[in-house]
Amino acid sequence: MATVRYDKATRIYPGTSRPAVDSLDLEIGDGEFLVLVGPSGCGKSTSLRMLAGLEEVDEGAIYIEDRDVTNLPPKARDIAMVFQNYALYPHMTVYENMAFALKLRKTPKHEIDQRVQKAAAMLQLEEFLGRKPKALSGGQRQRVAMGRAIVREPQVFLMDEPLSNLDAKLRVQTRSQIATLQAELGITTVYVTHDQIEAMTMGHRVAVMLDGVLQQVDTPRALYDRP
Ligand code: ADP
Ligand code: ADP
């Protein structure tokens, strides 16, 4: 687990005049579930990708647990990320998909097994471990993608619109599964969505962005009560 701090982090894409993210100042607490919300194009993904090391930081800095990670490559940051297009390995079973990153790290087999079984139990995937992704529903696949991310036990967990490919009913179900998972793991989490209801129901705190600028950060309750 870890805290995250954006310190005036700015991203100006080459060939553009206006920053996609402008002097972002934001602190995320240890074990906190922070939701970054705002309309399409407001800079949510860019903010998340800067934290993951997938996007350059042109000005300012980003810290994970007081370590300046601004110029570190993605692999040197202890972060796992889940996207909307979950991109599982089609030729591998659910078990193998979840075990893959651990195998690459030469994690002992019994430990891989322990971690995969634990994640599968949390995500209600136990009965699907032997299946290939194509034999799963969209919601199940998305849960496998999350399982694959969390078995590594990263310091920080990032999700970018993970529910946008699911139908409305499944979205609501998966929302609460993610919230439960995050609470059980107690992992510092940043979750990006354009959906205000998702933001207000899932986040410990909600950060609202508009045109690359952070507008306000507060608990859902406080944001709701504000005129
Ligand atoms: P969001 O995730 O809120 O939809 P993004 O972070 O994807 O917003 O985009 C923020 C702004 O940066 C938008 O105006 C978008 O068009 C622009 N942008 C995103 N990626 C690039 C890129 N690779 N090159 C130039 N502009 C980009
Ligand atoms: P390898 O190719 O190195 O044998 P596998 O991923 O095929 O690795 O399996 C490694 C171990 O993981 C197996 O010996 C087994 O204990 C466990 N395992 C694989 N698939 C499943 C599954 N569906 N359910 C439970 N355990 C599994």
CA distance 214 to 112: 40
Instruction: Return the structure tokens found at 8.
Output: 């005036």
User: Are residues 28 and 196 in contact, defined by beta-carbon separation less than 8 angstroms?
Assistant: no
Cβ-in-10-Å burial (0-12, 13-18, 19+) of 56 comes to: middle
pLDDT-wise least confident of 74-78, 164-168, 188-192: 164-168
Q: How confident is the model at residue 1 (pLDDT cuts 50, 70, 90)?
A: confident
Ordered alpha helix ranges (H), the chain? 44-52, 94-104, 109-122, 138-150, 168-185, 196-202, 220-225
Ligand 1 nearest-atom number relative to CA 45: 2
Alpha carbon nearest to ligand 1 atom 25, residue: 13
Handedness of CA 207, 5, 186, 116 (dihedral sign): positive
Mean pLDDT score of the chain = 94
Q: How confident is the model at residue 164 (pLDDT cuts 50, 70, 90)?
A: confident
Contacts of 186 by beta carbon, 8 Å cutoff, 6+ apart:
1, 31
Residue 184 CA, ligand 1 centroid: distance in Å:
33
Strand partners, 141: none
Alpha carbon nearest to ligand 1 atom 13, residue: 41
Model ipTM value = 0.76
Ligand 2 nearest-atom number relative to CA 129: 23
